[in-house]
Amino acid sequence: MNQDVLSKIVENNKGLISQGAVATYIPELAKVSKDYLGAVIAFPDGTMLSAGDTKVRFAIESISKTVVLALALLDNGEEEVFKHVHKEPSGDAFNSIKKLETEPDHLPRNPFINAGAIMTASLIKGKDPVDKFNRILEFMKKISEDDSLELATDIYLSEKATGDTNRGLAYYMKGQGVLSGNVEEILDVYFKQCSIYVTTESLAKIARFFANGGVLSNGERVIPKKYAQIVSGLIATCGMYDQSGEYLDNIGIPGKSGVGGGIISPVSSKKIGVAVFGPALDAEGNSVAGMGIMKDISKEMELDMF
């Protein structure tokens, strides 16, 4: 792969933008241009290939769930975390309450659906919600090797104002006795973690971090390899919600999306991280042109796991 090939891949997928639409259920996200499109490949030696709109800042949204899971594992250990959330694909929409009601233990099926991410956020250590969020932000800065990451206050307030479905999930778990702590404080951390401004470049470095077994480009180990493998494995099976199986079959590498338009793919076999940004989403909430780029990169670099 070289710069010209990546640029051509991005250009060739611009036609898919018309098949998607920006997220509108969070008002601030509706203001983003659907025409942005970019891709970055981050290599283990610290070098990167970039093409398109890779320096545009946008909300990380659900991709933050991978970072918070890693921090929750550091804070609590694997056994404790998975007492509170399972590791299975849900087969339902990302904000569905159905399995919380129908499964006898009332626990979320995985950490990447909203109920599971709220549960994971509740496990982050800290003296108060501000401290907990600051720990998440600093951890994200570290593993993305990007100190410019910051809270997008307007998006956070928009998330908070429209987050009633998430409140429903959290209060249901609280009512069933499986979620501990103050619900509004937990949700405040969750809404903020989803509202961190990132770029495609910072996402590619997060993906590389997990692909490289929890090690930064300078060789520093931040989390145990086992935790990075857990995160990457769940990205593969649960990262694209109820499109996860189709994504893995068609593209052949793990993918975690966010409704801000980002997708990350940690490719452990090559220790590289791939990230795309395209705010035009399909019905499942995944970037239409972004998935096209991922498919072409996977084919060009022969990344398919199978």
DSSP the chain: --HHHHHHHHHHTGGGGGG-B---SSTTGGGS-TT--EEEEE-TTS-EEEEES-S--EE-GGGHHHHHHHHHHHHH-HHHHTTTS--S---S-TT--HHHHHSTT---S-TTSHHHHHHHHHT---SSHHHHHHHHHHHHHHHHT-TT-EE-HHHHHHHHHH-HHHHHHHHHHHHTT---S-HHHHHHHHHHHHTEEE-HHHHHHHHHHHHTTSB-TTS-B-S-HHHHHHHHHHHHHHTTGGGHHHHHHHH-S--EE-TTSEEEEEETTTTEEEEEE---B-TTS-BHHHHHHHHHHHHHHT----
CA neighbor of 214 nearest in space, from 228, 230, 204, 234: 228
Neighbours of 297 (CB within 10 A): 25
Question: Residue 154 corresponds to which tokens in the numbers above?
Answer: 């307007």
Compute φ and ψ for 57, nearest 5 degrees.
-90, 135
How many whole angstroms separate alpha carbon 223 and alpha carbon 216?
Answer: 10
- Which one-letter amino acid corresponds to residue 21? A
Active site residues: 62, 65, 190, 241, 259
Q: In one letter, which amino acid is 139?
A: F
